[in-house]
């Protein structure tokens, strides 16, 4: 028995060596235990193996959970994740006229987003003076970073990948455990909490959740690095929200940035910009958790039966008026 566990340790150490170059481990947290501990005496409804939601699918074919209202117990997941003393870094970009979305975004986030957890927003803007004063809740804080203005909205949107890559690389290792990257032309209407945490987290796009895969707006030109051939694809993911562990999101942002650079050198831009590259990435690097369209809805007024709660939603905007081009 002893010998077998020694052999296991040995191979494990070898495989760790390869990973250590890429993964960011806080020295003091190397041995942090992320077990799902629950406390004696903590009471909650009995889980069932037979009764649950039947109108939606809550598991992918690779066994990643898809989070819908009714598939988790919020007080139970909070009590489990609270024990880990986590920090959730959250990035948001507001350049040009998009600063007008900040007030609603931040105020609604403070009402619904990881309440009771440590949150550090990183806000990237070309006009720090236009950032509204929003009172942060307990253990929530906001850091504003100046970035240069840009002439094309596509460059702003795609440029996020490189800025996130560098932020994780240079600063977050000793600062955060998870990261979420969110669009700013949005508003929270309901809880977004610890149920969303996972190694690599994708959000199902609100327009295409009931479409056949060949109608997804994947990049279909083989010349682009974002190309996905007909017959392939799982879901269509939005680029307006994604996240996960620092290591996994670092790999995602780095890969998308590299793929976009190759496209640029070949004078091609993917049909939906970084969203096309993100979809290619998630097809071959499966997310470990998926968030249902409750976590990014399209317009608060459009309803479908399966979406019982809208947690986060794109607000209506006049693209021609707010975008620089």
151 is in an annotated binding site: no
Q: Contact between 274 and Mn ion (CB under 5 A)?
A: no
- Determine the interface stretch with ligand UD2 among 60-68, 90-98, 141-149, 257-265 (rule: CB under 6 A): 90-98
Instruction: Confirm or deny that 263 is annotated as ligand binding.
Output: no
**Nearest distance, CB of residue 101 and Mn ion, angstroms:** 9
Helix (H, G, I), strand (E, B), or coil: what is residue 291? strand
User: Measured at CB, which residue is nearest to Mn ion?
Assistant: 183
The stretches of 113-245 forming alpha helices (DSSP H) are 153-170
Torsion on CA atoms 289, 283, 59, 217, rounded to nearest 10: 100
Residue of 69, 263, 275, 294 interacting with ligand UD2 (CB under 6 A): 275
Our answer to whether residue 269 is catalytic in this structure is no
In the beta sheet, which residues pair with residue 202? 242, 290
96: left (phi over 0), alpha (psi -120 to 50) or beta: left
Whether residue 217 is annotated as binding a ligand: the answer is yes
205 is in an annotated binding site: yes
| Contact positions with ligand UD2 (CB under 6 A) in 155-184 | 156-157, 183-184
Q: Is 260 in the site for ligand UD2 (CB under 6 A)?
A: no
Q: Is 238 in the site for ligand UD2 (CB under 6 A)?
A: yes
What residues from 154 to 213 belong to the interface with Mn ion (CB under 5 A)?
183, 185
Active-site residue (options: 69, 165, 195, 275):
275
Handedness of CA 8, 10, 12, 15 (dihedral sign): negative
To the question of whether residue 90 is assigned a binding role by annotation, the answer is no
User: Count of residues binding Mn ion (CB under 5 A)?
Assistant: 3
Footprint of ligand UD2 on residues 117-146 (CB under 6 A)?
Answer: none
Which residue, among 229, 230, 237, has the nearest Cα to 281 in the 3D structure? Answer: 237
Nearer to ligand UD2 (CB atom), residue 100 or residue 286: 100
**Helix, strand or coil for residue 272?**
coil
Nearest 5°: the CA angle 79, 287, 313 is 70
Q: Taking CB under 6 A as the rule, does residue 95 contact ligand UD2?
A: yes
CA 112 to chain centre: 16
In 3D space, the residue among 159, 186, 168, 185 whose CA is nearest the CA of residue 120 turns out to be: 168
Binding site for Mn ion (CB under 5 A): 183, 185, 240
| Residues taking part in catalysis | 275
Annotated binding site for Mn(2+): 183, 185
């Amino acid at each position: 028995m002893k010998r077998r566990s020694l052999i296991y340790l040995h191979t494990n150490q070898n495989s760790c060596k390869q990973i250590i170059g890429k993964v960011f481990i806080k020295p003091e947290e190397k041995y942090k235990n992320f077990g799902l501990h629950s406390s004696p005496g903590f009471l909650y409804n009995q889980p069932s193996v037979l009764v649950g939601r039947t109108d939606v699918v809550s598991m992918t074919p690779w066994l990643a959970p898809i989070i819908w209202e009714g598939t988790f117990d919020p007080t139970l997941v909070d009590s489990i994740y609270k024990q880990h003393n986590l920090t959730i870094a959250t990035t948001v970009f507001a350049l040009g006229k998009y600063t007008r979305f900040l007030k609603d975004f931040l105020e609604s986030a403070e009402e619904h987003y990881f309440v009771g957890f440590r949150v550090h927003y990183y806000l990237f803007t070309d006009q720090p003076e236009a950032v509204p004063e929003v009172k942060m809740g307990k253990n929530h804080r906001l850091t504003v970073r100046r970035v240069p203005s840009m002439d094309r909205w596509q460059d702003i949107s795609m440029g996020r990948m490189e800025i996130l890559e560098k932020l994780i690389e240079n600063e977050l290792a000793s600062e955060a455990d998870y990261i979420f990257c969110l669009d700013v032309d949005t508003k929270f209407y309901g809880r977004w909490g610890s149920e969303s945490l996972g190694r690599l987290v994708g959000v199902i796009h609100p327009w295409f959740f009931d479409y056949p895969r060949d109608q997804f707006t994947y990049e279909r030109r083989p010349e682009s690095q974002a190309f996905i051939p007909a017959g392939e694809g799982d879901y269509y993911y939005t680029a307006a929200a994604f996240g996960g562990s620092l290591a996994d999101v670092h790999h995602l942002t780095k890969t998308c940035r590299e793929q976009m650079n190759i496209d640029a050198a070949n004078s091609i831009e993917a049909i939906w910009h970084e969203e096309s590259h993100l979809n290619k990435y998630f097809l071959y690097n499966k997310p470990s958790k998926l968030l249902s369209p409750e976590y990014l809805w399209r317009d608060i007024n459009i309803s479908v039966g399966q979406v019982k709660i809208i947690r986060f939603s794109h607000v209506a905007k006049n693209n021609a008026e707010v975008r620089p081009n």
